[in-house]
Amino acid sequence: MTPALTLTAPVAVSGAQPPVRPAVAIAGADKVFPLGRGKSLQALAAVDIEIAEGEFTAVIGPSGCGKSTVLRLAAGLDTPTNGTVEVFGDTPHALAAQHRLGVAFQEHALLPWASVRQNIALPFRVAGRPVDDDRVDGLIELVGLAGFEKARPKQLSGGMRQRVSIARALALSPDLLLLDEPFGALDAVTRRRMNAELARIWAEERITTILVTHDVDEALILADRVVVMTGRPGHVRDVVEVGFPRPRDASVTRSAEFHALVDRLTAMLDGADAT
């Protein structure tokens, strides 16, 4: 088995300054799910990932490799069987309890009876805080839904519903944003548009972000670094720096360098099941 590689955060070079603590630190994480009757499934094996504050990291890998499990560990929705998970020097549960965590999944999970504005304002109510109307207005503008404030989810396109989901995840200005295949159910054209929208939103908010995706192009368009996982039990096969300057427009995706990196990552995924 290929040994797990560690994604290390940038370290300030100064004799007077201590190393920078990563925003997310997953160390030696195993995850085993009991299946009953003495059987179990090992989803992750010795996963080591460190992510710097303000960084956008994408996690890719073959189907069933544990990508979403990594995200659930960072969210505190699952705990590792072995190993540790820290976010901003504390537990994921502490971050969630302080409402400093934003999450958006492939299924938007919007309240069907609530308007765009009400869905985006929901985190304030869940946290027991007064709704910040200026923040809600700003997010509606940020995700390009001005004029749709009173619309219900069934009146919106799939891409528009995902914009509402992302705006809701950003409502309380979280320190960590977790995205699990947020555009996986969209058609190719809408997905490309949403990639551009997410890149623009992230450039304005600059929140530490982890994106789980099976789309290599999407990972390279959005991320600073890409974590490549092996087949189950998943561990980190490689970590790839994405050096393309931001903002990344269509000209980047047409470049020879972009296609070479797509080919490199795709080759890793093609061989991941055998690792």
Identify the pLDDT of residue 135.
94
pTM above 0.75, yes or no: yes
36 or 13: whose pLDDT is higher? 36
The separation between CA 246 and the C-alpha centre of its own chain, rounded to angstroms, equals 18
Distance CA 13, CA 15 (A): 7
Residue 250 backbone class (left: φ over 0; alpha: ψ -120 to 50; beta: rest)? alpha
Report the chain's terminal Cα–Cα distance, integer Å.
6
Range picked from 9-18, 98-107, 224-233 for highest mean pLDDT: 224-233
Neighbours of 56 (CB within 10 A): 24
188 occurs within a structural domain: no
Where in the sequence is the domain holding 131, given as residue range(s)?
101-173
- Tell whether 249 is covered by a domain: no
Nearest partner of 164 among 203, 109, 219, 207, judged by Cα: 109
Cα separation, 67 vs 58, whole angstroms = 10
| Assigned domain for 220 exists | no
Residue 116 CA: distances (Å) to CA of 190, 201, 206: 19, 18, 23
Residue of 158, 173, 146 lying closest to 110 (CA atoms): 158
Cα–Cα distance, 94 to 110 (Å, whole number)? 25
Could you tell me which of 157, 114, 155, 158 has the C-alpha nearest to residue 136?
114
Q: Are 174 and 144 in contact (CB under 8 A)?
A: no
What pLDDT, in 10s, does the model give residues 36-85?
Answer: 888 899 999 999 999 999 999 999 999 889 999 999 999 999 999 999 99
For residue 157, tell me if it sits in a domain: yes
Q: How many domains does the chain have?
A: 1
Span 166-197, pLDDT tens digits: 999 999 999 999 999 888 878 888 888 888 88
pLDDT reported for residue 15: 52
Q: By three-state DSSP, how is residue 73 classified?
A: helix
Is residue 26 one of the residues assigned to a domain?
A: no
